A and B are shown apart, each in its own frame.
Chain A
Amino acid sequence: MLACAVCGLMGTGENGWAYLAMSVVMSALPLMMIGGVSWWVYRRANGK
């Protein structure tokens, strides 16, 4: 039994690159957004 519904779509295994690429995107995206907002708030707080 697979916990993730998308894992059921794994198919032939030719989509391994897609799993890897999307894992990178889904991991990096929130970190980039939090980093971006933190940097923006820091600049505003320091009047830059």
Chain B
Amino acid sequence: MTATVRRDVVPSSVLGMLLLIGAEVMFFAGLISAFTIAQAGAEAGRWTTPTAPLLPVASTLSNTAALLVSGVCVFLAHRRIKQQRGGAERLMMAACVLGAIFVVLQGREWVALLSQGLTMQSGGLGAFFYLIVGAHALHAVVAIVALGVAWWRLRIGTLTDGFLFGTETFWYFVVLLWPIIYARVYF
């Protein structure tokens, strides 16, 4: 009698994360699709903020840069962990801090927009803006907490490959989704 050795082609943690990311991609695709159709059907001059024709494109560029650099930090941290080189902890912490900066700057932008009269009830742009950007910010907060846990586990030497994969995949999703939202919603 021969024993059959089973090999996991895809670990369960990886498959679970891929399914989650797939569902999240469709969720945001649905929101962006609805935004695009509503924007295209809006009457001339109705798709603006109460005080300006465009959302704050220039100031949001710094948020975008912080988020993209944070994604690079996670990528470099992963490489250092795999190569068993030092410095991964600092890179992981830098990714957390940059992610937090992104969320804080977004919050500051929201406060400014609310004070200018852009609310969820003020029109289609406001409703979609807070829904899409808010949903993304919520995902960013969850991912930052996961990155923080990954950093802590790296520090105490209990970080597993599965946890690292799940955390960094979710963070890449948050990072790569943002430029699409930025390009579609802010312009």
Residues on the B chain within 8 Å of A5, using CB: 34
Given A15-B37, A17-B40: A33 in contact with B10 (beta carbons within 8 A): no
Residues on the A chain within 8 Å of B18, using CB: 37
Which of A3-48 touch B at CB < 8 Å? 5-6, 9-12, 14-15, 17-19, 21-22, 25-26, 29-30, 33, 37, 41, 44-45
Mask for B24-35, Cβ within 8 A of A = 1, else 0? 011001100110
B31 → chain A, closest Cβ, in Å?
A: 10
- Chain B interface main SS type: helix
B10 and A44: CB pair below 8 A? yes
Residues on the B chain within 8 Å of A25, using CB: 29, 33
Complex CA distance for A41 and B18, rounded to whole angstroms = 12
Residues on the B chain within 8 Å of A45, using CB: 9
Complex CA distance for A33 and B18, rounded to whole angstroms = 10
B41 and A15: CB pair below 8 A? yes
Given A6-B34, A41-B10: A11 in contact with B41 (beta carbons within 8 A): yes
B57 contacts partner chain A, Cβ-Cβ < 8 Å: no
B173 → chain A, closest Cβ, in Å?
A: 12
Contact pick for B37, options A12, A19, A33, A44, CB 8 Å: A19
Residues on the B chain within 8 Å of A15, using CB: 37, 39-41
B26 and A29: CB pair below 8 A? yes
A25 → chain B, closest Cβ, in Å?
A: 6
Q: Which residue of B lies closest to A4 (CB)?
A: B34
Contact pick for A11, options B9, B33, B42, CB 8 Å: B42
**Apart from A14-B40, A44-B10, 15 more pairs, CB < 8 Å:** A6-B38, A9-B34, A9-B38, A11-B43, A12-B41, A15-B37, A15-B39, A15-B41, A17-B40, A18-B40, A19-B37, A22-B36, A26-B26, A33-B25, A41-B9
A interface with B by C-beta (< 8 Å): 5-6, 9-12, 14-15, 17-19, 21-22, 25-26, 29-30, 33, 37, 41, 44-45
